[in-house]
Amino acid sequence: MTDEQRPLRIIHCFRSPIGGIFRHVRDLVEEHSKAGHEIGILCDSSTGGEHEDRLFDDIRPYLSLGLTRVPIRRAPGISDIPVIWDTYKTIKSLRPDVLHGHGAKGGVLARLVGSALRVNRYRVARLYTAHGGSLHYSRTSLLGQFVLKMERLQEYLTDALVFICEYERDTYAKKVGKPKTKTRLIYNGIGERDFQVIPTRSDAVHFIYIGMLRDLKGPDLFVDAFAKTERLAGRPLSALMIGDGPDRDKYRDMMVERGLGKRISMLPAMRVQEAFTMSQNVVVPSRAEAMPYIVLEALGAGKTVIASRVGGIPEALGKESAALVTPGDATDLARVMAEALAKPEWGHQTMPSTEAVKAVFSAPVMARDVLKLYYELIGQTPTSSNI
């Protein structure tokens, strides 16, 4: 292998090792490491728990450039300055070819540090994938105007923007403006092992919610819609909420106040394959999304997905899918949940085929296309052995 075709040194920067961003990075890490590249991760040290620690253990063998965790707050502040300086020193010592920022905070760190390295005549490619993030802000609010303007300014420090779905690409153009730097649309993807039907247990519940316990993801809508579904069905039902988050106690209190405490149970975050054994019907009631992995994983596992018409979800389920509901509308969500229960073949008739999902949302294809972009940015030509 010539120097022009050498393996790359890649560092992924993101804030919270939770949810879709973490899943996205783990897939890239594994695929690229197996192709012979050296990979590192830099992320927040104050979020995540035992579940996330187990996920880190899974990918640690692929992290030849190590796992670096520093305190990264969600909101920007003066405390970011020493974090950025420490991040700069750490990344400089690792001599990366590529800095790939994920989410708003990860994007700031990757692009600032990468630009500082360039000032010191160190060539490094600077990429940013929003994963929704700052694009959820409204242009009508002062905070939203500030955040979106900062996104625009950071384009001058960006070699490429990667969009994970058409929705994210179109939202960026609408809210931030037509990009002035290179862009690429590369869908989120899941691996071959994720395309295996997972049967439900004999004690399965009617519906499950899997995800972060915060209002943006709609757990309160799930609880409200569950109660309405029971009334439509005319009988008691059962459900599970699986995940962790800052509003867990609030949702527990909400269930107790409505007399649902015995029919909706709560469990901490776990491996999604285990969660899928607990129900055939996966409800994704988010108020905002980019391209959530839980939808792709559920489809790969042969589950029935009922979801809000937000973000890139219609691109996965089909833009006219009967499984899509009005965002923020618990009544419409309950209507579809009740229909899924009333008609045994509803899920089979409504969900896209496994072949259709695999053709677009494949982790190997995602990793290959991201790697091609990396090589393009640093002016090298990849060989078949390192893509």
| Model confidence pLDDT, tens digit, residues 152-187 | 999 999 999 999 999 999 999 999 999 999 999 999
Distance CA 150, CA 318 (A): 33
Torsion of the alpha carbons at 325, 212, 150 and 118, rounded to the nearest 10: -130
Residue 380 has pLDDT above 90, yes or no: no
Distance CA 297, CA 254 (A): 28
Amino acid at 204: A
Angle at 124 between CA 360 and CA 293, to 5 degrees: 25
| Model confidence pLDDT, tens digit, residues 56-65 | 999 999 999 9
Q: Which domains does the chain have, with CATH numbers?
A: 3-189+362-386 (3.40.50.2000), 193-359 (3.40.50.2000)
217 pLDDT band, cuts 50/70/90, is very high
- Which contacts (CB < 8 Å, 24+ apart) does range 115-118 have? 115/157, 116/88, 117/88, 117/91, 117/92
Find the mean pLDDT for residues 210-228.
96
pLDDT of 26: 96
